[in-house]
Structures are given as structure tokens and as C-alpha cells.
């Protein structure tokens, strides 16, 4: 769009003149040169405001200038758009009426003067019959503001308030009068700044009302008061409100102008000019005036952002311009013809802009094509046709206009981040009826299309005859003018300037390259890599015309190295790009590129270049490369294709380690038949797996392959092992150096490596196999090293469905299998036995575990062996490995992360054995781990072939014991008293008395039942209960009854043993009555029993107990029974099991039972309990049937009942109820030793009658009968 006048295509935005905020009019309104002397000056006498707040306001207003915003409605955040021009206190407007030129005689009578921009004024460039030009547009875009926004300061000095307010009113009224007298309808808006806060503006309300009445300005649209003492955000919001109201006034201004234009058009008359034209010219016709009126109406609608109204008016003006009354009536040789055509272009561009503004992208594309076709038709009908360079220049220019409009519209759908390449059509259009090119593509599409038009322009320009390319001379002026009429010179140079015989002329290549560069950028932003690559190639053709070899190399080298066309077999593109890049590389002396490109273009799948000598050895012949050094080129088939192809095949899919395997490598040349043979310096085959690389070197004087014209040559190669230096090998591929030199082995051979075009070289070899596993040939590397260059080319051997071939000397080939480059190397069958010995039936936790692994060498020779061990499980225990029975610490290897590698077993003789020991530390928890052992050994007779043997063992570790626990209360004999002064702890420095517990003590019986889960008998040597920790300010001790202690008992599998422990807990302080808990653990010391009955090492299994409450803070009631016999009868564990008989001394005594009810009150409250004993048929009792028991704080009371059982051999339940008198809550009676409880209460055991008692009773009855 730069070819058109700037004002014709500039975005029409309301012009806002901001006055009073600065004295330096840096952005003063432009003055129209010759009109400056007659300009109208509107001046304000008020001084400019130069406060800090005024500068902030000015900066914000300048920041909202919409001149550079995208040509779209935007997000609607601001409801206004202005083109902002800042002025001082003076505004210069163009004159309303033009003056007569000095050389023009005024007509008789009074002359009617018109605007200086009108075709009616003699001094206008449009006089007498011009349509419209850019000067009228510049007048409204840059000279005449829609609104003049003036800023004034409101003083707060009360002594000067009246004076300043009157001056302010006078100045505003003077501005209003000046604007009215100028003849323009520009609006005046006034903003009064106050250095107050919005809340304190009430004191100035009367003054503001006086100013409003004195100026007659509308406070809602023209007069604004702006307090500046507020935050920046609030100030900007207030300014947005002011500018929004001012924008409404601007739209109304342009609406008034539109009404005036429509009123003139409705008159239907041609206004008379100031001076009538001469006889050789005529005035503008009525149709021409209608074009002016419609164009002005559309422009004013654009100022108002009413694009639909603008489109209708533009379309009317467009149709009128292209009608037979305007363009058809102008001779094509006249300059007025091109002026009218340019106006049609401008109108069409503005129509496109309006469509894009409204989002009508497909309509815009169609409208673009309509204008293109209409102009072509008019040129065919009235002009010079379209088969000339001028028409192609127009097509290119018209296409660039569309690209620039798309860029300025900035559709979100076409943003590069969206990844879209075109915008969807409007919803009211059917996609089925649209052509692909009717959808709006991004700007890159249009730039490339414009470049193609320029290519056609260059072609037509080069077809201009030499006579027309001669520059004009004074003697041939008429002849030259007649020749120029044959060409379309619309916005393009003459033929002799377009393509002169001598001189540069128009640089078509540069113009095309610039457009293609812009197109390439757009394609690359959207990752359209193929199109971008194609555009790059087209750009390089233009650069080749400009001899810009460096730019060609910079553009094409990355594309040539990483090009997808090769994989997709686009040979023509690959060939074209290669030759173009080669030409640039030759000019720049880039020998590596020249050799690589020649290596690729020797393939006969490309088209043969006439007269070209295909010889890779002579690629760098020429003066350009004589001064450069010998280049080293390293390329692969992933980057560059080649005329050489390679294949590799193993004859058999499987083979055994230690045996050779037959294989073939085939190299085929697909070079042009006229090309020279290629001699390879070396050929190397790399493998993935256990095979070593193979290197074949060219042998001088062995060119027997070319003694005949056979296409297939099969030759057997003998391979030998060769030690190479890895540092030297790395230097051959790259120039890097390493600090250490490492040696490795490869297989080496010699043969003839000269290959002719169309020939196949096959090398057959026997490859020794050493290690088992899968192996695959990965790539074949060939090297060409001569005096000019060194080329390394690598060809990968892909895994695909290609069937491998086996060649023979009889020119026959045999199909092998798919992926013939694979071989599976079977391991050599091991004869060394590996087994775990001396295993135990079951392993337990908390014991050290020792395993033995025995190695038996059944091979025919001695073997050097190493052992690898790995332990896998959820919990991997720590272990160590010892390969010597002497248990030497230097020969013990500790595991790391469950793995021990390379444990030297040493040399195991033929038919000999070796033992390896594995020692596991004690394991705390049950687990199952898998032990995997692998022995790697080499026979002395074949040290290059490794042999492996594997063995696994599942180690299951279980816990030998499990237990459950019951905590039963017992009566503690000691109970503290508040009145015992002797128990008060004295202050002493003796460490033994410091911290001695003085609080309440409670006694418990911890019953333990432990069961053996072992698979064999175990000897238990000791049981202990350990106090781990206590909580709640108490001390706790655990002890076992010595009388019940049994040492060294034998526990059989699945048997249960019992043990009881006394737990005594005492609070540290008597004032502390909070409950306390204890963490306990049960420890069992046990031993394995060997075959001789002896006990093994001691192992300790610790079982954790749940946390128990060992002191309580609530009152409790305990029940305890004693019997009249010295030793109480044994209590059965269940009601069905009778106790043992009593002692003989008490055979005839009645079984009297003493029942003690113990009430403990550990609280600090006085408690009262009621005890009630009901009668029972099972016993008689002596004691209070109902009684009240008062218990003091921190005290306990004992109530004793003497019971005489009436039944024997059963559990008796006393009907005893203990009730809290205050809360009326029945307390649970807790049984102690010798008792039990159920849901209904406590029970005690009454022993049965023994046999001695029955015999004594029978004797008594017999005596009574005798008596």
C-alpha cells in the first residue's frame, strides 16, 4: 500500500486536538504549505498547565492514540478511538475558501469562492474536472479536528477566584466564537482541572455552576470537572469517562458532515466553478459529483466506525467510477484515466478494509477478486490490455495490498500461535459452495502470489523490443510517445526504465526476493516447513540472478542437510536444490559441500546433466579450491542420499558361541553409467551386541574385480584380529583429542574396494562368535581418501521387512529371511554345576543365616571363575560373600544394594570343587527373598569365550514365635496417705533419693501366651518383659514370678506356653492423677537343637506389645477372694476343668471363702458408695447386706464378706452391687487373681469334694448308722 498516497489508505480515526497541557507544541497540527498564509488561527489567552498531574494526563492521552492499533474492532475495553494531536494554545485551520490565483482574471460581478480542495477552485489540483484526491482526506485526518479538547486550571485562592473564573469564561467564549467564525463545525470540549480530591469538590460547586451558565457548555458532553488528587488508576478511569463522552461528540460531528453531503447530493445539480474553464476543458459532470458525495459519505461513516454504512456508500462510488460515464469517457492515454483508476483502487481497498473490520473475510476475498476482474475487463475494453508488464505490476501490487490488509487486521484465528493457515468463512456462507482460494489465507500466501506476478512482470519486461527500450531523445519525442501508449504505465515506469538496454533498470530479482522473504517468514511462523522450503528455493533462484552466493549458502545449507524431500522421494526438488547450492559452494570455496553434493548427485535416479563429468575424485578441481586445505567430510544417509547402497546378511539365524558364522556384505553402485569408478579406501561394519567391528581395507594391485565386465563379484575375505587405538580412531572421525589411550580389538581384512557403475561387490567372511546374545549389523561406513579430500559416509542397516539375499559366484542369489542382519548367538552349554548345599528346613528371624554354594567343574579343562550374586525382595537384608573357607577378611565382599559382582572364585581345576559362603545378618521381620547366583568362567583352553551358569534359591524367613497378652489388675499392698508425714520426701543432696516416686501405685498381672510357629523343636532358655518407655509421669517395673520360672524348656511346634509377669506402676507425684501408659516388649531367648541334642547359639526374638494403661485416674472397685486353707486351691482356667484336691490337713474343713471389696479413690473428691449384697442359694454370707461407704480423697476402703458355699466344684456369682451415691451410677467390679467376670458380674471358684473327703463322709455316715 506504500505505492498509493498515504492519506488515501490511512485508517480514518476521529482527530482530537488537545490544548493547554503543554507549552511546547511538539505534535502541533500539520500546516498545508501554501495554505498556511491564509489559515485560520484560533488562539487561547490562558497559560498552559504544567503541573505534575497535567503531565500525567497528557502522557495518558497520548498513550491512547489509536493510529497504530490493528484495523479491527478490538476487545471493546475502550469505547473510543482517537488520533491525538497535542498543541499549545493555538490551533491553525486551513482556509474555508480559496483565493483566486494572481494569473486568473476574476469574472464579472462577485465570484463564488469554494474550498481550496474543491475542483471548483482554480488554484486546486483538481480543477476543473478532477474527482477527488488525497488532499481532501489529509484535511480531515490531520488538519481539522473533530473535537478541540481544552484544559484549564481552577484556582483555589479565594481572593483570585472571581477574577480567574471570569477570565476562564471569557477565554472559553472567545474560543467558541472563533470556531463558529471559521466556518468549521468542530466541537469544543473543556476540562477544568482541580488540585482537590473528589470528596472536597462541594465547596467549588457554586463557582462551577457560574462557569457553566457563563459559557453555555453542556456538563454531560462539553464541560468536565476533573479533580486530580486521586490515585493513578482512578484518574485514568475518570479520563476514560471524559474521552468516551468526547467521542460521542466527535461521532456527532462527522454525522453532521454526512448530512450536509447528502443534502448537496439530493439537489442533483452541478455547482458552478469560481472561474469557468477554457474551451478546451470542461467542468466535472454530475456523475463525478455523485462520486465525490458518495466517497465523502463513506469516509465520514468510517470516522464514526459505522462500516456497514461506509460499504454501501463506497460501493455506489465504485460503480459510478467504473461506469461508462466516468472511466469509459476518459481516453486511456490521458492522465485522468490513471487518476480515475487509482481512485477505483483506493475505494476497493477501503471496501476490503471495512469487510475485514467486520470479520467478513470470505466476502473480502471475493471482493478482492471482483476488483481484479473488473479492472482487467476495463483494460481489455478501454485500455491497453493485460498482456504487458504494467498489468502484472498491478496484479502484484494488488496482491501485496491484500497481504498488508490482513497483517493490519490481525485476526486471532490467523495468529501464528493458533497454528491455523486460513480463517473460516462467515456463518451465513455455505462451505460447500466455496472454492479453496475464496477462504482468507494468511499473509504469506498472498506475498508468494505477489512474487509470482512479479516473475511474470519480469518475463514480459524482457520481451519488450529493443526499439521501445531506447531512452527518448528530443528528435523522436512524438515517436517515443506513440510507443509508450502501447504499454500500461499505471504506477510503473516507462519501458526504457523498466528494462533498459544499458543500465540496471528495475531490480525485479530484489523485489521478488523481498516478497518471498516475507512469505517464508509467515510460513515458518506456522511451521509449514514444506512450503517454507519451497519458498527458500525460489528465493535462491533470485539470489542466483543477483550473484548473492553467501545468502544462497546460508539459506540452502540448513535445508539441504535436514530435508524431508529425500525420504519422500521428491527427487526433482532434491536435484534442483543440490545444483543451486553447489553453484554457490563453488563460488564460496566450500569444498565439503561440493563433495557431499556430488556424492549425492551421482545417483542415476536424478536427471543427467548434459556435458557434466561425473567423477567424485575430481570434484575439487578448479582454481577456487587450489588454495584451501584438504577438507574432511563426514556425512550419513540420514542427511545425504548416495549412489552406493549396502546390505549385510548372516547365513544362519542362529549360531553357537565359540564357532564361526558365515556372513556377507554387499555394496552396490547406482551411479551413472558414464561416471568414473570409485575406489573406497576402507569399509567398516559396526555391530550392536557382542560382535566386534569388521574393517576391510583396499589392497593396492588387487583390482581383479575389473578384469571383466561382470556386474557381480563375490570374494571371500579372511579376517584377523587387530588391536586399534581408540584415541587414533576418534581422531579419524573428529579432531578431538583424549587424555587416555584405550585399546580394543576389531576384525581386519583386505580386498579390492574399487566399484564401477552398476556393479555389486560382495565380500564373504567367517565371523568368530565369542559371547552369547543377540547381535545385529547396524551400519556400514565407507571412506574415500585421496589427495583432495577425505570422505566418510555411513549407511544404516534398517530393520524392515526386506528379505535378505545370499549371493554366489554363479550370479545367483538366494532369499534368506527378513532382517537377515540379525543373528542369535546361543551360549556355549556350561558344564560347571552350581548348587546350594547344606540347606536347613526353615529359617527364622533374629538369627544369623549362612548359606553355602558349591561349584563343581565338569569341563575338560581348568576354569577361571567369578561369581555374581543378587538378592531381590521387598526387604533386602545385608549380607556378605566369602569365597574362601578360611574367613579371611580381605577375601570377604559386602553387598551394595543387594548385589555383589565379580567375586573371584579363582581357578577351579578339572573335576574339582569350590565353595562360596553367603552370610546374612539377622533379619527383624518375616520376608521372602530370591537369591540369584551366576558364575562366569573362562576355560584355560579358550580364554576368549565366556561361559555362564545360573542358579537360584528362594529364602523364606518366618518368625518363630507369636504371642497374645492380657493385662489383669491386682491389689497393691501399699497405698499412700495424705496424713503420713514420714512419707514426705525430704530435701537432700543424695542422688538416690532425688526423684523417688511418691504417687499412687497400681499393680497388674500381665498374662502372656506364646506359641511356636517353628517347623521343629526349639529350646527356650529365658523369658523377659522389658519396659521400653512410660508416658504420663510414672515409673514402671516388670518382674516374673521366680516360682513359675522354668529354664531351658523345649517348645514343640504349634504348642502354647504361658508366662505371667508382675507390672507395678507408680506416679512420680501424688498430685499427678492423670492416667499413664507404658510401652512393653516381650523377649524370648531361644536356641536351635542339633541332631545330637545340643543347643545352638542363642537368638533373641522380641515381640512388641500394645500400649497399656498402667495407672488410671477414675475410682475403681476391685474384688479379691481368699480361702480358709493355707494354700488356696488351684483355679481352673475354665468352668469344666476341676482344680487339684486340697491338702490333707484340710480334708474335713468347710470351704470358707473371704470376699474383699476394695474401693480406690485416686481423685481429690469425697465419694460415697452404696454396697448391696443379695441373698443367694449357692452360698451363705456374713457381712452387711446394705451399707454406705465414704471414701476420702486419695484413699481406699476395704469391705470383707465371709462366704460359706453351699455348692461344690462350680463358679459362684455373688450378687453384689456397688453404686455411686452422687451420680447414681453402678460401678463395675474388677476381678483380681483367682476370679473372673462376665456380663453379669464377678465369679469365684468353689473347689469340688475330693475323694478323701468323700471317704471321710462315708465313714461318718456308717458310724452314725451303727450308733
Residue 813: pLDDT band (50, 70, 90) is confident
Per residue in 422-435, pLDDT (tens digit) is: 888 888 776 667 88
CA distance 734 to 1118: 94
Using 50, 70 and 90 to split pLDDT, how confident is the model at 1136?
very low
Ramachandran angles phi, psi of 375, nearest 5° = -65, -40
| C-alpha pair distances (Å), 852 with each of 191, 209, 624, 883, 948 | 102, 111, 77, 10, 19
Residue 53 host element (H or E): helix 52-63
Give residue 24's pLDDT band: very low, low, confident or very high (50, 70, 90): low
Task: Quote the CA–CA distance of 823 and 797 in Å, as a whole number.
Answer: 14
pLDDT value of position 334: 86
Per-residue pLDDT of 949-986, as tens digits, reads 889 999 899 999 999 998 888 888 888 776 665 655 55
Alpha helices in 419-528 (DSSP H): 443-462, 477-484, 495-498, 508-525
Cα distance between the two ends of the chain:
153
Q: What is the mean pLDDT of residues 1049-1059?
A: 90
Mean pLDDT of 501-530: 94
Q: Which three cell numbers stand for residue 66?
A: 489509536
Q: What is the mean pLDDT of residues 157-163?
A: 87
Tens-place pLDDT, residues 826-858:
887 788 888 888 888 899 999 989 999 999 998
- Return the CATH architecture of domain 832-956: Sandwich (2.60)
pLDDT value of position 360 = 94
Q: How far apart are CA 965 and CA 1104, in angstroms?
A: 10
What is the overall mean pLDDT for the chain?
86
Spell out the residues 6+ positions from residue 692 whose beta carbon is closer than 8 angstroms to its own: 721, 745, 746, 747
Q: Across the strands, what pairs with 655? A: 825
φ, ψ for residue 489, nearest 5 deg: -100, 25
Q: Which CATH superfamily is domain 1116-1254 in?
A: Immunoglobulins (2.60.40.10)
Residue 603 CB neighbour total at 10 angstroms: 20
- Nine-digit cell string for 904: 573371584
Pick from 260-269, 477-486, 549-558, 615-624: least confident? 477-486
CA gap 175, 193 in Å, rounded: 18
pLDDT digits (tens, 9 = 90+) for 257-285: 999 999 999 998 888 888 877 766 778 89
- Render pLDDT for 1203-1244 as a digit per residue (tens, 0 to 9): 999 888 899 999 999 999 988 899 889 898 888 888 888 999
For CA atoms 1226, 1231, 1237, 1243, give the dihedral sign.
negative
Task: Give the per-residue pLDDT at 676.
Answer: 94
Candidate CATH numbers 2.60.120, 1.10.3470, 1.10.4040, 2.60.40; the one for domain 961-980+995-1111: 2.60.40
Partnered with residue 951 across adjacent β-strands are 933
For the chain, what percent of residues have pLDDT higher than 70? 88
Give φ, ψ of 50 to 5 degrees.
-125, 35
Q: Which of 235-244, 685-694, 974-983 has the lowest mean pLDDT?
A: 974-983
Q: What is the pLDDT of residue 1138?
A: 41
Q: Which of 539, 351, 374 is nearest to 447 (CA)?
A: 539
Question: Mean per-residue pLDDT for 69-91?
Answer: 87
User: Environment class of residue 133 by beta-carbon count within 10 Å: exposed (0-12), middle (13-18) or buried (19+)?
Assistant: buried
1008, 963 contact by CB (below 8 A): yes
Residue 109's pLDDT band (boundaries 50, 70, 90)? low
Highest mean pLDDT out of 250-254, 768-772, 985-989: 250-254
User: Could you say which DSSP state residue 206 is in?
Assistant: H
List of long-range contacts for 1197-1200, beta carbons under 8 Å, 24+ apart: 1197/1158, 1197/1159, 1198/1156, 1198/1157, 1198/1158, 1198/1159, 1199/1156, 1199/1157, 1199/1159, 1199/1171, 1200/1154, 1200/1155, 1200/1156, 1200/1157
**Per-residue pLDDT reduced to its tens digit, 351-372:** 999 999 999 999 999 999 999 9
Q: Where are the domains of the chain?
A: 6-94+144-267, 286-540, 547-626, 630-826, 832-956, 961-980+995-1111, 1116-1254
Q: What's the confidence (pLDDT) of residue 1239?
A: 85
Is the peptide bond between 128 and the residue preceding it cis, with omega within 30 degrees of 0? yes
Work out the pLDDT band at 773, boundaries 50, 70, 90: confident
* pLDDT given at position 321: 95
* CATH for the 6-94+144-267 domain, from 3.30.460, 1.20.140, 3.40.50, 3.30.70: 3.40.50
Which H/E stretch holds residue 37? none
- Can you tell me the distance from the alpha carbon of 714 to that of 232, in angstroms, rounded to the nearest whole number? 89
* Per-residue pLDDT at 110: 66
pLDDT of 1141 strictly over 50: no
Instruction: Name the residue with higher pLDDT: 409 or 1247.
Output: 409
pLDDT at 434: 82
pLDDT the model gives residue 622? 82
DSSP label at 142?
A: I
Q: Summarize the confidence of residues 13-29 as an average pLDDT.
A: 77
- Predicted pLDDT of residue 1147: 45
Confidence of residue 894 (pLDDT cuts 50, 70, 90): confident
Rounded distance between C-alpha atoms, residue 691 and residue 778, angstroms: 11
In this predicted model, what pLDDT tens digit does every residue of 485-509 receive, in sequence order? 678 899 999 999 999 998 889 999 9
Using CA atoms, how far apart are residues 902 and 916, in angstroms rounded to an integer? 13
- Give exposure, 1174-1194, as e/b (b: 16+ Cβ within 10 Å): eebeebebeeeeeeebebeeb
Number of Cα atoms under 13 Å in the Cβ half of residue 432: 0
Cell 569365550 -> residue: 945
Q: What is the pLDDT averaged over residues 1148-1173? A: 85
**DSSP three-state, residue 340:** helix
What is the Cβ-side half-sphere exposure of residue 427, based on CA atoms within 13 angstroms? 1
- Range from 485-489, 619-623, 957-961, 1248-1252 carrying the lowest mean pLDDT: 1248-1252
The pLDDT tens digits for 367-393 are: 999 999 999 999 998 888 999 999 999
Place of cell 493490519: 408
Helices (H) and strands (E) in the chain, counts: 21, 57
Phi/psi of residue 323, each to 5°?
Answer: -75, 170
| pLDDT of 212 higher than 80 | yes
Q: Which pLDDT belongs to residue 1194?
A: 85
**Same fold? 6-94+144-267, 1116-1254:** no
Amino acid at each position: 500500500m506504500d505505492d498509493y498516497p498515504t492519506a488515501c489508505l490511512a485508517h480514518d480515526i476521529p482527530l482530537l486536538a488537545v490544548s493547554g497541557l503543554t507549552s511546547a507544541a511538539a505534535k502541533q497540527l500539520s500546516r498545508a504549505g501554501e495554505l498556511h498564509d491564509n489559515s485560520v488561527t484560533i488562539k487561547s489567552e490562558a497559560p498552559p498547565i504544567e503541573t505534575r498531574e497535567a503531565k500525567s494526563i497528557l502522557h495518558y492521552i497520548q498513550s491512547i492514540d489509536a493510529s497504530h492499533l490493528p484495523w479491527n474492532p478490538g476487545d471493546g475495553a475502550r469505547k473510543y478511538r482517537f488520533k491525538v494531536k497535542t498543541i499549545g494554545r493555538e490551533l491553525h485551520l486551513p482556509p474555508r475558501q480559496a483565493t483566486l490565483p494572481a494569473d486568473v482574471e476574476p469574472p464579472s460581478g462577485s465570484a463564488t469562492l469554494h474550498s481550496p480542495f474543491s475542483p471548483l477552485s482554480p488554484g486546486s489540483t483538481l480543477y476543473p474536472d478532477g474527482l477527488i484526491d488525497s488532499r481532501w482526506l489529509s484535511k480531515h485526518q490531520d488538519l481539522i479536528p473533530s473535537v478541540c479538547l481544552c484544559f484549564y486550571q481552577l484556582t483555589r485562592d479565594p481572593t483570585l477566584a472571581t477574577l480567574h473564573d471570569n477570565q476562564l469564561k471569557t477565554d472559553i467564549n472567545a474560543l467558541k466564537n472563533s470556531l463558529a467564525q471559521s466556518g468549521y463545525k468542530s466541537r469544543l470540549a473543556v476540562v477544568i482541572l482541580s488540585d482537590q480530591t473528589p470528596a472536597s469538590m462541594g465547596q467549588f460547586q457554586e463557582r462551577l455552576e457560574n462557569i457553566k451558565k457563563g459559557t453555555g457548555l453542556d456538563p454531560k458532553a462539553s464541560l468536565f470537572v476533573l479533580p486530580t488528587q486521586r490515585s493513578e488508576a482512578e484518574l485514568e478511569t475518570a479520563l476514560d469517562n471524559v474521552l468516551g463522552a468526547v467521542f460521542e461528540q466527535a461521532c456527532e460531528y462527522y454525522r453532521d458532515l454526512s448530512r450536509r453531503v447528502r443534502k448537496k447530493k439530493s439537489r442533483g445539480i452541478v455547482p458552478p466553478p469560481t472561474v469557468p474553464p477554457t474551451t478546451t476543458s470542461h467542468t466535472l459532470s454530475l456523475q463525478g459529483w455523485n462520486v465525490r458525495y458518495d466517497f465523502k459519505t463513506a469516509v465520514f461513516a468510517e470516522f464514526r466506525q459505522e462500516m456497514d454504512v461506509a460499504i454501501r456508500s463506497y460501493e455506489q462510488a465504485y460503480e459510478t467510477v467504473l461506469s461508462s460515464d466516468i472511466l469509459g469517457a476518459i481516453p486511456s492515454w490521458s492522465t485522468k484515466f490513471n487518476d480515475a483508476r487509482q481512485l477505483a483502487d483506493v475505494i476497493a481497498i477501503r471496501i476490503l478494509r471495512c469487510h475485514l473490520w467486520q470479520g467478513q473475510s470470505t466476502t473480502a476475498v471475493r471482493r478482492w477478486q471482483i476488483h481484479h476482474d473488473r479492472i482487467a475487463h476495463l483494460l481489455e475494453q478501454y485500455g491497453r490490455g493485460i498482456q504487458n508488464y504494467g498489468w502484472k505490476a498491478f496484479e502484484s501490487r494488488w496482491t501485496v495490498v491484500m497481504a498488508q490488509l490482513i497483517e493490519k487486521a490481525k485476526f486471532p484465528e490467523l495468529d501464528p500461535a493458533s497454528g491455523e493457515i486460513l480463517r473460516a468463512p462467515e456463518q451465513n456462507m455455505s462451505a460447500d459452495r466455496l472454492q479453496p482460494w475464496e477462504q482468507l489465507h494468511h499473509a504469506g500466501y498472498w506475498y508468494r502470489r505477489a512474487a509470482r506476478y512479479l516473475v511474470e512482470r519480469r518475463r514480459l519486461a524482457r520481451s519488450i523490443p529493443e526499439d521501445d527500450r531506447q531512452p527518448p531523445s528530443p528528435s523522436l519525442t512524438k515517436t517515443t510517445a506513440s510507443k509508450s501508449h502501447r504499454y500500461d504505465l499505471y504506477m510503473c515506469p516507462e519501458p526504457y526504465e523498466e528494462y533498459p538496454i544499458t543500465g540496471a533498470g528495475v531490480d525485479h530479482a530484489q523485489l521478488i526476493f523481498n516478497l518471498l522473504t516475507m512469505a517464508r517468514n509467515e510460513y515458518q511462523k506456522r511451521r509449514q516447513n514444506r512450503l517454507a522450503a519451497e519458498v527458500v528455493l525460489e528465493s535462491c533462484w533470485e539470489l542466483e540472478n543477483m550473484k548473492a552466493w553467501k545468502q544462497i549458502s546460508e539459506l540452502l545449507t540448513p535445508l539441504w542437510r535436514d530435508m524431508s524431500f529425500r525420504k519422500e522421494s521428491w527427487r526433482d526438488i532434491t536435484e534442483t536444490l543440490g545444483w543451486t547450492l553447489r553453484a554457490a559452494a563453488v563460488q564460496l570455496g566450500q569444498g565439503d559441500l561440493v563433495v557431499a553434493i556430488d556424492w549425492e548427485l551421482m545417483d542415476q535416479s536424478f536427471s543427467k546433466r548434459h556435458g557434466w563429468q561425473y567423477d567424485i575424485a575430481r570434484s575439487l578441481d578448479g582454481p577456487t579450491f587450489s588454495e584451501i586445505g584438504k577438507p574432511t567430510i563426514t556425512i550419513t544417509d540420514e542427511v545425504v542420499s548416495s549412489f552406493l547402497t549396502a546390505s549385510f546378511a548372516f547365513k544362519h539365524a542362529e549360531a553357537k558361541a565359540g564357532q564361526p558364522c558365515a556372513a556377507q556384505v554387499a555394496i552396490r553402485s547406482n551411479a551413472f553409467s558414464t561416471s568414473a569408478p570409485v575406489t573406497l579406501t576402507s569399509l567398516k561394519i559396526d555391530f550392536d551386541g557382542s560382535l566386534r567391528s569388521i574393517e576391510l581395507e583396499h589392497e593396492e594391485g588387487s583390482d581383479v574385480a575389473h578384469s571383466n565386465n561382470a556386474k557381480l563379484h563375490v570374494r571371500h575375505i579372511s579376517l584377523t584380529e587387530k588391536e586399534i587405538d581408540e584415541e587414533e580412531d576418534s581422531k579419524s572421525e573428529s579432531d578431538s583429542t583424549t587424555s587416555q589411550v584405550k585399546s580394543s580389538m576389531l576384525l581386519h581384512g583386505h580386498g579390492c574396494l574399487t566399484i564401477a557403475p552398476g556393479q555389486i561387490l560382495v565380500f564373504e567372511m567367517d565371523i568368530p562368535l565369542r559371547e552369547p546374545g543377540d547381535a545385529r549389523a547396524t551400519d556400514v561406513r565407507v571412506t574415500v581418501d585421496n589427495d583432495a579430500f577425505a570422505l566418510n559416509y555411513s549407511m544404516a542397516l534398517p530393520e524392515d521387512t526386506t528379505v535378505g539375499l545370499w549371493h554366489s559366484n554363479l550370479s545367483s542369489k538366494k532369499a534368506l529371511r527378513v532382517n537377515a542382519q540379525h543373528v542369535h548367538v546361543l551360549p556355549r552349554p556350561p558344564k560347571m554345576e552350581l548348587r546350594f548345599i547344606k540347606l536347613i528346613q526353615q529359617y527364622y528371624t533374629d538369627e544369623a543365616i549362612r548359606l553355602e554354594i558349591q561349584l563343581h567343574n565338569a569341563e575338560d579343562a581348568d576354569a577361571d571363575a567369578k561369581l555374581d550374586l543378587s538378592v531381590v525382595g521387598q526387604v533386602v537384608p545385608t549380607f556378605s560373600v566369602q569365597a574362601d573357607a578360611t574367613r579371611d577378611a580381605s577375601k570377604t565382599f559386602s553387598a551394595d544394594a543387594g548385589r555383589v559382582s565379580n567375586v573371584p572364585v579363582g581357578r577351579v581345576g578339572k573335576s574339582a570343587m569350590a565353595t562360596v559362603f553367603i552370610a546374612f545378618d539377622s533379619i527383624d521381620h518375616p520376608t521372602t527373598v530370591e537369591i540369584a547366583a551366576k558364575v562366569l568362567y573362562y576355560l584355560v583352553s579358550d580364554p576368549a569365550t565366556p561361559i555362564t551358569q545360573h542358579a537360584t534359591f528362594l529364602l523364606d524367613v518366618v518368625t518363630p514365635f507369636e504371642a497374645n497378652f492380657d493385662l489383669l489388675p491386682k491389689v497393691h499392698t501399699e497405698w499412700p496417705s495424705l496424713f503420713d508425714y514420714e512419707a514426705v520426701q525430704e530435701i537432700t543432696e543424695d542422688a538416690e533419693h532425688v526423684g523417688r516416686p511418691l504417687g499412687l501405685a497400681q499393680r497388674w498381672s500381665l498374662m502372656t501366651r506364646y506359641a511356636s510357629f517353628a517347623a521343629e523343636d526349639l529350646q527356650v532358655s529365658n523369658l523377659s518383659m522389658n519396659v521400653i518407655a512410660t508416658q504420663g509421669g510414672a515409673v514402671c517395673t516388670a518382674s516374673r514370678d521366680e516360682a513359675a520360672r522354668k529354664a531351658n524348656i523345649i517348645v514343640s511346634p504349634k504348642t502354647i506356653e504361658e508366662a505371667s509377669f508382675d507390672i507395678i506402676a507408680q506416679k512420680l507425684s501424688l498430685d499427678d492423677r492423670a492416667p499413664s501408659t507404658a510401652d512393653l516388649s516381650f523377649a524370648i531367648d531361644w536356641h536351635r537343637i542339633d541332631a545330637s541334642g545340643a543347643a545352638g547359639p542363642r537368638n533373641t526374638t522380641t515381640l512388641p506389645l500394645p500400649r497399656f494403661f498402667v495407672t488410671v485416674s477414675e475410682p475403681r472397685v476391685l474384688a479379691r477372694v481368699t480361702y480358709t486353707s493355707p494354700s488356696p486351691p488351684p483355679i481352673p482356667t475354665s468352668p469344666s476343668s476341676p482344680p487339684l484336691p486340697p491338702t490333707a490337713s484340710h480334708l474335713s474343713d468347710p470351704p470358707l471363702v473371704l470376699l474383699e471389696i476394695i474401693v480406690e479413690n485416686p481423685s481429690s473428691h469425697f465419694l460415697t458408695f452404696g454396697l448391696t449384697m443379695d441373698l443367694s442359694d449357692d452360698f451363705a454370707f456374713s457381712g452387711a447386706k446394705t451399707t454406705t461407704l465414704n471414701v476420702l480423697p486419695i484413699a481406699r476402703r476395704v469391705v470383707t464378706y465371709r462366704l460359706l458355699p453351699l455348692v461344690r466344684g462350680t463358679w459362684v456369682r455373688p450378687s453384689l452391687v456397688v453404686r455411686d451415691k452422687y451420680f447414681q451410677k453402678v460401678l463395675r467390679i474388677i476381678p483380681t487373681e483367682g476370679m473372673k467376670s462376665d456380663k453379669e458380674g464377678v465369679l469365684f471358684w468353689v473347689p469340688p469334694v475330693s475323694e478323701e473327703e468323700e471317704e471321710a463322709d462315708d465313714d461318718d455316715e456308717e458310724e452314725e448308722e451303727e450308733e
